[in-house]
Amino acid sequence: MMGNGLFWSTFTALFLLSAYSLTASAQNYRMCDGNRTGTFADPSDCRFFIFCLNGQPKRYQCHNQQIYSTKTKTCVSANEAIGECTSVFKRTTEVSNPEEYCRNNPHAFLPHPDSCALYYNCSQTRSVQLFLDTYVNECPYMQLFSEKTLSCQHYSRVRCDQRKEPKDVCDYRRFWCGSAHCIPCFIRYPSCNGKPNGRNAIPHLRWASSFIVCQDDRLLTSAECPSTNGRPTVFSPYQRDCVSVYSMPSVFGRKPISCSNKQNGFYADVSSCTRFYECSNQKIINKFNCQSNMIFDEQISTCMHPEQSCSKCGTKSNC
């Protein structure tokens, strides 16, 4: 065992002497986690590699435009590393056989081709989440996998390039339904795709008491409209704010007012305790609103305080 260790140390020392030494402290190289020692590919450039010594990284560059090969763990010519690198020295990250790759690189982290939120963690030898294969992991919502840091970062700090960038909550597999009685994801987490930043109506609910808050096509939160003076409010998709329930168009639940088959006089708006209207010749000629803290009593055709009224909106006892 000591002989093999001495050979490895001698080989590594000679290999490092044949490369340019650079500083590696500016980046977080995950391959060095756990006090690891060894040489690993630099994920950002094929011409570089990282030497970890007891968890401390140092970055090296191969001589003469050579490429660091993950197969041989040495610097080789471009012809000897076909398939490992692009023409602009960007390391090829799409893995055709992840199981084989991870067996050869048990501490590697690399992006997944299907989604910018997915990545391979080669030290993860079992599935950790429904809908994910062995070695595959997923960033939390609002985060993406960075090829630069080999870790999950806030979406604003990650470039996905050719990888598909998930934005909806339901683009993340951790939110997919795993049982027959699960409420569909798009119901639990409405989409903000294509919506402006800020408050928005829920796509499948209009003039509802709830709304969503969006940022960069992503769902930040959902919330309920507060009541005003004890009366409910609803979210207007036009004003993008909570408004009186009596502002709803009749087609969305508010009952329309009408003078059809009614004698001349004043009538209560059945959708509001404070509104009333005047009919003449079966036509609406005026609309009114009672003063603050007063309701319309249709029995006596006047506005009054609720505690004095026996109408459906009144609170007077012994009526």
pLDDT digits (tens, 9 = 90+) for 89-117: 666 555 667 778 888 788 888 888 889 99
Q: Using CA atoms, how far apart are residues 224 and 217, in angstroms rounded to an integer?
A: 20
Q: In whole angstroms, give the CA distance from residue 43 to residue 29.
A: 9
CA nearest 300: which of 286, 284, 316? Answer: 316
Q: Whole-number mean pLDDT of the chain?
A: 82
Beta carbons of 43 and 148 less than 8 angstroms apart: yes
pLDDT at 12: 53
What's the rounded Cα separation, in Å, for the pair 112 and 119? 5
Residue 261 has pLDDT above 70, yes or no: yes
CA distances from 150 to 118, 130, 229 (A): 11, 23, 53
Res 54 pLDDT > 90: no
pLDDT band (50, 70, 90) for residue 169: very high
Q: What is the pLDDT of residue 200?
A: 96
Report residue 24's pLDDT band, with 50, 70 and 90 as the boundaries: very low
Could you give all domains of the chain from N- to C-terminal order, each with its CATH number? Answer: 14-92 (2.170.140), 96-189 (no CATH), 191-251 (no CATH), 255-308 (no CATH)
Least confident of 20-24, 190-194, 275-279, 301-305: 20-24
Mean pLDDT of 131-135: 85
Alpha carbon distance 305, 314 (integer Å): 8
Percent of the chain with pLDDT over 90: 30
pLDDT grade, residue 6 (50/70/90)?
Answer: very low
Report the pLDDT value the prediction gives residue 38, as an integer from 0 to 100: 82
For residue 290, the 8-state DSSP code is: P
Q: What is the pLDDT of residues 171-218, one digit of tens each?
A: 999 999 888 788 889 889 999 999 999 999 998 887 888 999 999 999
